[in-house]
Structure 1
Amino acid sequence: MPVTKFNAAPLLAAAVAAVLAGYAASCSAQTLTVAWRNKPPHQYIENHVEKGILLDRAKQVFSEAQLPAKFVEEPAKRIWNNFKIGTRNYCSIGWYRIPERESLVQFSMIFHTDPPHTLLVGPAAVAPVLAHKTLASLMSDETLTLGVVDGVSYGPELDALISKSRNRIERSTTAPMVMANMISADRASYMFIDREDWEFLHDRDRSMQGTTQVDLKGMPQGLDRYIVCSKDVPAATMNKINRVLARLVPQKKTTSG
């Protein structure tokens, strides 16, 4: 009787392929940690309830993309340190795209577009601030103190202006809303504040009544914000996020030369 040789290679290859496919599927289904910093009205907690226009949008994005996600509040410095140390399956919402972040994270399509920043001025500094007609003139005044929230970016243009400013600089790792209270108490002359943040704060915090909102010539245009994810997050996951964003958020048209 002839002996039939059994070739196990195709079965072995199929088994390996099935295991790899299962592993890939399990990786893509892993729960993402989505960190957000306290920044009303974009994202905040009120009466133990998570709220905010961008937090709600982010939850909608991950839900419609069918991506399991756990949302956690964390300070800005901790969020970016987590990216620096290579925390896996990690995303965050509402960040500017600046060069030093490119090596740390993947950027989504546009998540939100800010209006231009405005200035929040303390009670004792209104007159000396209004003596300036342009932002460049204001930032050359050595008698004034600029309050800066440390660990975040105001966008490339404002970051550059701050780094070259002749104002005294008062840095703090507090949230922007806390910095606004420092301005109200004249612990610094003025600060840059998101216009949407100021509108929210002005209507809800009576301590802001002594402050003044000022606009000067030379303020940069508002910037786009993005969802960012750690480099290990699969391209397929980013594509799912982007497909939802393309439906929800107006995207800027690009031209090729």
Structure 2
Amino acid sequence: MGTRLVVALLCWLAAGQALAAEPIRVAWRDKAPYHYWENGRAQGFLLQRARRLFAAAEVPAVFVERPSKRIWRDFQRGKQGFCSIGWYRLPERERLAQFSLPFHVDPPHTLLARAETLPAIRAHASFASLLGDPDISLGVVDGVSYGPELDALIAGSANRVVRVTLPPAGLMQMVAAGRVDYMLADQADWQYLRRRDDGLSGLAEYHFHDMPPGLERYILCSKDVSTQVMGRLNRAIAALSAQGGGQ
């Protein structure tokens, strides 16, 4: 074998090894208490779980915080070697990325309202009945999915649906101020925010028996991430779930 051919082959092998060793970039959005900044440090129970999973799977990864819109723009543009954590599984997302096994299951959403509004809400025997009341207003964070089942129920609701471009904390403040009658909240969001914002002390939570079950959250990866890597991640998730650490 000629010297030039040997050198070319060695360079090709070295390039392939470098590519294989390139860490995956794992994006997370600022969503307390799942993943967020506090005192200059990345915190959150789901972020820490994801770090453990990538380490257990022996998949090199660099975790970076990115806005939600940028994360989805990167998936739409076919960014390679790219994953993101903590998302619901929706049909439109399956066209852009591949999904791991679920690595967290949310409890059902809770209903938040002012104490003064609760009697009108409790007058309904079910959530389905409440959604049929045109005299009650429901606040919704625009552009955010509450999951396929709740999204469909909200779309078909007779409530006066008020869509706002605010984070959940901002909508909670609107409910507390009486600008909308009630909202649906992620229980983890609510438990985190209620301890940090005295302005939410006037809110009360209420649970209906027919509220849709909580949704599963996944790790999404770009289509180029190999089946071997996805398999290692899934085995790590299955092992963690078997140990009772997947909730």
Match of 1:26 in 2: 18
Please tell me the residue identity of whatever aligns with 1:224. Answer: E
Retained in 2: the 8 A contact 1:77–1:152? no
Asked which structure has the greater CA Rg, the reply is 1
Change (3 A) 1:122 1:70: farther
- Whole-angstrom distance in 2 between the partners of 1:199 and 1:127: 23
Change (3 A) 1:133 1:250: farther
CA deviation profile, 1:173-219 (whole Å, cap 9, x unmatched): 43323322232222322221122222222233222111110111310
**Match status 1:74 vs 2:66:** yes
* Shift, 1:153, TM fit: 1.8
Retained in 2: the 8 A contact 1:150–1:172? yes
* Shift, 1:70, TM fit: 2.5
**Match status 1:205 vs 2:197:** yes
Match of 1:87 in 2: 79
Match of 1:114 in 2: 106
Match of 2:211 in 1: 219
* Shift, 1:246, TM fit: 1.7
Please tell me the residue identity of whatever aligns with 1:170. Answer: V
Residues 14-23 or 104-113, more deviating: 14-23
Change (3 A) 1:179 1:137: same
**Match status 1:248 vs 2:243:** no
Residues 158-167 or 68-77, more deviating: 68-77
Change (3 A) 1:22 1:53: same
Percent identity for Structure 1 against Structure 2? 47
Change (3 A) 1:47 1:137: same
Helix, strand or coil for the counterpart of 1:27?
helix
Please tell me the residue identity of whatever aligns with 1:162. Answer: I
Match of 2:138 in 1: 146
**Match status 1:62 vs 2:54:** yes
**2:88 alignment partner, one of 96, 100, 108:** 96
Retained in 2: the 8 A contact 1:122–1:189? yes
Q: CA RMSD in A?
A: 2.5
Pairing of 1:122-161 with structure 2 (within 5 A): 122-161=114-153
Please tell me the residue identity of whatever aligns with 2:48. Answer: D
Tell me the TM-score normalised to structure 2 length: 0.86
* Shift, 1:23, TM fit: 4.3
* Shift, 1:19, TM fit: 5.9
- Alignment gaps of 5+ in structure 2: none
- Alignment gaps of 5+ in structure 1: 1-7, 252-257
- Whole-angstrom distance in 1 between the partners of 2:133 and 2:49: 40
CA deviation profile, 1:53-88 (whole Å, cap 9, x unmatched): 101111112223333323222333332232122222
Helix, strand or coil for the counterpart of 1:42?
coil
- Whole-angstrom distance in 1 between the partners of 2:91 and 2:23: 28
**2:166 alignment partner, one of 163, 174, 177:** 174
Aligned length: 242
- Whole-angstrom distance in 1 between the partners of 2:227 and 2:188: 32
Residues 95-104 or 28-37, more deviating: 28-37
- Whole-angstrom distance in 2 between the partners of 1:23 and 1:167: 59
Tell me the TM-score normalised to structure 1 length: 0.83
Change (3 A) 1:166 1:22: farther
Retained in 2: the 8 A contact 1:114–1:223? yes
- Whole-angstrom distance in 1 between the partners of 2:175 and 2:13: 56
- Whole-angstrom distance in 1 between the partners of 2:165 and 2:224: 28
Retained in 2: the 8 A contact 1:29–1:67? no
Change (3 A) 1:121 1:64: same
Helix, strand or coil for the counterpart of 1:129?
helix
Helix, strand or coil for the counterpart of 1:109?
coil
- Whole-angstrom distance in 2 between the partners of 1:159 and 1:17: 55
